[in-house]
């Protein structure tokens, strides 16, 4: 039985004023050192799940353990070991990459020489050393995505949540980000990754969950999911079979 980096049971959430819950009793496990793909059409509940797992949003019901720690009782300790790369670019456009990293690093209580070392290491990890002192506003979409990724890595999280980190970028930047994500996995980082791309999920994820309308419909290795659903040749067909929708509908 692999060591679990994260264990969630029965997570439920309804946004104020919404007629339907965004999540209905979701169960999810992350094995230490794996890339886990969370797939679903628009509105399935992927971002809501990530918001709860990264302790930004409190669920109405359910339990969550992260590396054996209850994040609701020990939020500060848990926030030291998790990182979040949000779907929206969350950077100050008029500041340089280095200035953004310094600002967010201080928010994470990194200081002095350690912060400077982490900024240099993170800039190298995302391939932005040469652009470190240029304002984010001058960057291409792919470079902004890489800078966004850098912020999530600054404090060397053990568990990293990535919400569509390759959305809307050119194939070269996408390739670079996927290679970086695989490199973090090789260094032992556990990752939960949301995407609309079946090619990406097939390439980098050891296990996937397919969700729709706030529910997980299936969760396993790709091989076992395909074996358990005869007649489905790949992830796209499995997704269509389970949800009645094409994977990329947005
Ligand atoms: N702040 C909010 N207030 C009210 N409803 C919300 C809010 N955020 C999300 N929702 C609703 O909750 C449901 C799940 O949304 P969520 O953003 O988690 O889906 P998603 O799978 O991440 O979608 P996408 O692929 O479009 O990012 C949707 O019906 C959405 O309209």
Model confidence at 248: pLDDT above 70: no
Count the alpha carbons within 13 Å of 31 in the hemisphere toward its beta carbon.
Answer: 13
**Residue ranges making up the domain that contains 206:** 4-243
Residue 250, pLDDT above cutoff 70: no
Q: Is residue 170 part of a domain?
A: yes
In a domain, 183, yes or no: yes
Confidence at residue 19, expressed as pLDDT on a 0 to 100 scale: 92
Task: Answer for the pair 246, 197: CB distance below 8 angstroms, yes or no.
Answer: no
The answer to whether position 121 is within a domain reads yes
Give me the number of domains the chain comprises: 1
Residue with the smallest CA separation from ligand 1 atom 18 is 45
In a domain, 249, yes or no: no
Please write the tens of the pLDDT for every residue from 10-53: 999 999 999 999 999 999 999 999 999 999 988 999 999 999 99
In angstroms, the CA 29 to CA 196 distance is 20
Residue 82 inside a domain? The answer is: yes
Residue 52's Cβ-side half-sphere holds a number of Cα atoms within 13 Å equal to 30
With a Cβ cut-off of 6 Å, ligand 1 is lined by 15, 18, 22, 40, 42-48, 250
Q: Which residue lies with its CA nearest to atom 16 of ligand 1?
A: 45
| Residue 37 backbone phi and psi in degrees, to 5 | -95, 125
Report if residue 250 sits inside a domain.
no
Residues 6+ apart with CB under 8 A from 13: 21, 22, 23, 48, 52, 57, 59, 60
Question: Bridge partners of 87?
Answer: none
* Confidence class for position 247, pLDDT limits 50, 70, 90: low
Span 228-249, average pLDDT: 81
In a domain, residue 47? The reply is: yes
Query: 42: CA distance to ligand 1 center in Å?
Result: 8
pLDDT, tens only, 159-206: 999 999 998 888 888 898 999 999 999 999 999 999 888 889 999 999
**What do you get for the CA distance between the two ends of the chain, in Å?**
37
Going from the Cα of 133 to the center of ligand 1, the distance in angstroms, rounded, reads 35
Q: Does position 236 have pLDDT exceeding 70, yes or no?
A: yes
* Ligand 1 atom 2, closest CA: 15
pLDDT per position as a tens digit, 51-86: 999 999 999 999 999 988 999 899 888 999 999 999
Q: Domain of 172: which CATH number?
A: 3.40.50.300
Neighbours of 172 (CB within 10 A): 9
For residue 211, give the ligand 1 atom closest to its CA.
Answer: 21
Does residue 213 form part of some domain?
yes
């Amino acid at each position: 039985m692999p060591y679990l980096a994260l264990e969630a049971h029965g997570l439920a959430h309804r946004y104020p004023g919404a007629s339907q819950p965004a999540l209905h009793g979701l169960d999810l496990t992350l094995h230490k050192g794996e890339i886990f793909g969370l797939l679903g059409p628009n509105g399935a509940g992927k971002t809501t799940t990530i918001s709860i797992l990264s302790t930004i949003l409190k669920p109405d019901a359910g339990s969550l353990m992260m590396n054996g720690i209850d994040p609701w009782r020990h939020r500060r300790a848990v926030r030291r070991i998790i990182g979040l790369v949000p779907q929206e670019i969350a950077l100050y456009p008029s500041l340089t990459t280095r200035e953004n990293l310094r600002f967010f690093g201080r928010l994470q209580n990194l200081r002095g020489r350690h912060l400077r070392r982490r900024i240099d290491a993170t800039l190298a990890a995302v391939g932005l050393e040469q652009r470190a002192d240029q304002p984010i506003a001058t960057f291409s979409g792919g470079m902004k995505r890489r800078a966004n990724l850098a912020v999530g890595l600054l404090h060397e999280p053990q568990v990293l949540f990535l919400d569509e980190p390759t959305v809307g970028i050119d194939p070269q930047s996408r390739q670079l980000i996927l290679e970086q994500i695989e490199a973090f996995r090789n260094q032992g980082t556990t990752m939960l990754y949301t995407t609309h791309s079946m090619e990406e999920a097939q390439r980098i994820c050891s296990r996937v969950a397919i969700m729709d309308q706030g529910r997980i419909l299936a969760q396993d290795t790709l091989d076992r999911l395909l074996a358990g659903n005869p007649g489905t040749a790949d992830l796209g067909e499995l997704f269509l079979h389970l949800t009645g929708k094409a994977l990329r509908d947005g």
